Amino acid sequence: MTSGLWELVLKGVWTTVQLLVFSALLAAAVSFAVGIARTHRMWAVRFLAGVYTEVFRGTSALVMIFWVFFVLPVAFGWQLVPLWAGTLALGLTYGAYGSEIVRGALAAVDPAQREGGVALGFSSWQRLRLVSLPQAVPEMIPPFSNLLVELLKGTALVSVMGMGDLTFSANLVRLALQQSAEIYTWVLVIYFVIAFVLTRLMRGLEKRLKAGVGKSAVPEPVRTDGPAPKTRVGVSGGGVA
Amino acid sequence: MKWDWSAVSGFLPQLWDGLLVTLQALVLGSLLSFTLGLVWTLLMRAPSRWVRWPVGVVTEFVRNTPLLVQLFFLFYVLPEWGLTFSALATGVFAIGLHYSTYTMQVYRAGIEAVPVGQWEAATALNLPRSRTWTAVILPQAIRRVVPALGNYVIAMLKDTPLLMVITVLEMLGRARLFSQQHFQFTEPLTVIGVAFILISYLASLLLRALERRLVR
């Protein structure tokens, strides 16, 4: 393979990484919004969130991508830049899977914790933010890590729409060289390396978060801080920025 | 937004053809993944690490790389090596291989969940190894893992549209063909989207019923 072709592959890697980051952020936002909505006390909110999950989990990611690329522009007049169309389709689909993770982790928090929040006179929003989520989030990391790898694998689908990601560049190289074995092997290896790095990063994150709620073998001294000073730090940080 | 019912009725015959291919790929792919997954699990329990290590590496690799690229690999590279299969056969093989790396984990969990007493009883009864597996361990393990395997069947269903990229005319492939011929994208794509939701919802209901029967 010539250096020009490698450059093409590197560009593909960059597009894949961009798409991965954006759609992961969207998927995370959707997961939390829908997952938390599924624990809402009004049945209508729970029902709507459940419908969202069933619809977006029920359909295939590739069908969703086709829909966003071909139907949205015609039906609603929204012509999206390919990167955003891909982000939207992947984020909404994988967000639906993620919402199940959030719901499950929230449901797994000891009910006594929630009751404790009620006894202390916390509002439902405070209970969620200060009691349930800090305990549920560390438990979500391992399934989210798996989902992130699934999302990485899902980003390959946008190549079908002609977006220049890693898989697409592999197809171009195949056409240029008229041979497939080498380039596809390389591309598979690159995907595997990215997945491996992601898994490692998530494992590190899990360790840190679990340490924050006193679940790791090595207890951290910051436990006495509690959530309240943390939010104050966050607010002052926002003020500086 | 315009919705043209005549396009829907025009697409329906194609939808049935596509559905048939989708279900064909799904059934064959599932059977292959169930079988291969069991083979991987049993190999991972082999006494020699010269068996366990390569199987572990290969399955980890297949699980963490996109099915789409694997499809391309099989579709373009196998003919270079002198192996030519039909597009559907290649697709079935790719899906089966990809999901076998998931089902192997399911089987492993199922086998590990069989109580130790069952193994001890088999030893006490002096059952040969093969009979211990086929008559004692696997029947109990597989019973436990049916719901988890069913979830992967639903996941496979949602990955069958990928076969479109290697020229298999399943549902999405039919929809794309129809769209390009009649220049109507909204109706066929929406119809198959709804079809996927319906099929996977029905499948999940079926699975829940099955789960209630099997896991007591």
pLDDT band at A241, cuts 50/70/90? very low
User: Is the separation of the CB atoms in B197 and A59 below 8 Å?
Assistant: yes
- Say what the pLDDT of residue B36 is: 96
User: Is the separation of the CB atoms in B139 and B195 below 8 Å?
Assistant: no
Alpha-carbon gap: A62 to the closest alpha carbon of chain B (Å): 7
Distance (Å, whole) CA A28 – CA A87: 12
Distance (Å, whole) CA B90 – CA B84: 9
Residue B192 lies in a domain: no
Put simply, the answer to whether A63 touches B192 (Cβ < 8 Å) is yes
Alpha-carbon gap: B9 to the closest alpha carbon of chain A (Å): 18
Distance (Å, whole) CA B198 – CA A240: 51
Q: Quote the domain boundaries for residue A158.
A: 3-228
Q: Phi-psi category of B117—alpha, beta or left, where left has phi over 0 and alpha has psi -120 to 50?
A: alpha
Q: Which amino acid is at B106?
A: V
Q: What is the pLDDT of residues B87-138, one digit of tens each?
A: 999 999 999 999 999 999 999 999 999 999 999 999 999 999 999 999 999 9
Nearest CA in chain B to A155: B66
Distance (Å, whole) CA B139 – CA A36: 39
Q: Which residues does chain A have within 8 Å of residue B190's beta carbon, measured at their own beta carbons? A: 67, 71
Residue A20 has pLDDT above 90, yes or no: yes
Distance (Å, whole) CA A15 – CA A21: 10
Q: Quote the domain boundaries for residue B56.
A: 17-169
Distance (Å, whole) CA A173 – CA A7: 11
CA-based angle A190:B95:A20, to the nearest 5?
35
Put simply, the answer to whether B64 touches A196 (Cβ < 8 Å) is yes
Residue B207 lies in a domain: no
Distance (Å, whole) CA A130 – CA A216: 20
Residue A108 lies in a domain: yes
User: Is the separation of the CB atoms in A102 and B208 below 8 Å?
Assistant: no
Size of interface A-B (CB pairs under 8 A): 115
How many domains are there within chain B? Answer: 1
Q: What percent helix, strand, coil does chain A show, rounded to 5?
A: 85, 0, 15
Residue B178 lies in a domain: no
Q: Which two tokens stand for residue B207?
A: 């699975």
- Say what the pLDDT of residue B216 is: 59
Put simply, the answer to whether A66 touches B1 (Cβ < 8 Å) is no
The residues, ordered by sequence, that sit 6+ positions from B178 with a Cβ below 8 Å of its Cβ are B10, B11, B14, B184, B188
The residues, ordered by sequence, that sit 6+ positions from B64 with a Cβ below 8 Å of its Cβ are A149, A153, A191, A192, A195, A196
With tokens 């195949």, the residue in question is A174
Residue B189 lies in a domain: no
Residue A238 lies in a domain: no
Distance (Å, whole) CA A132 – CA A125: 10
Residue A69 lies in a domain: yes
Q: Which residues does chain A have within 8 Å of residue B176's beta carbon, measured at their own beta carbons? A: 66
User: Is the separation of the CB atoms in A39 and A31 below 8 Å?
Assistant: no
Chain B positions contacting chain A at CB under 8 Å are 1-2, 61, 64-70, 72-73, 76-77, 80-81, 157-162, 164-165, 172, 175-176, 179, 185-186, 189-190, 192-193, 196-198, 200-201
Residue B187 lies in a domain: no
Residue B72 lies in a domain: yes
Find the CATH number of the domain harbouring A92. Answer: 1.10.3720.10
- Say what the pLDDT of residue A224 is: 41
Q: Rounded to a whole number, what is the distance in angstroms from the first to the last CA of chain A?
A: 47
Mean pLDDT for B41-50 is 92
Distance (Å, whole) CA A55 – CA A48: 11
Counting residues of chain A whose pLDDT is more than 90, the rounded percentage is 64
Put simply, the answer to whether B197 touches A54 (Cβ < 8 Å) is yes
How many domains are there within chain A? Answer: 1
Put simply, the answer to whether B77 touches A181 (Cβ < 8 Å) is yes
- Say what the pLDDT of residue B133 is: 92
Of A75, A179, A195, the CB nearest to B186: A75
Of A54, A63, A149, the CB nearest to B201: A54
Residue A166 has pLDDT above 90, yes or no: yes
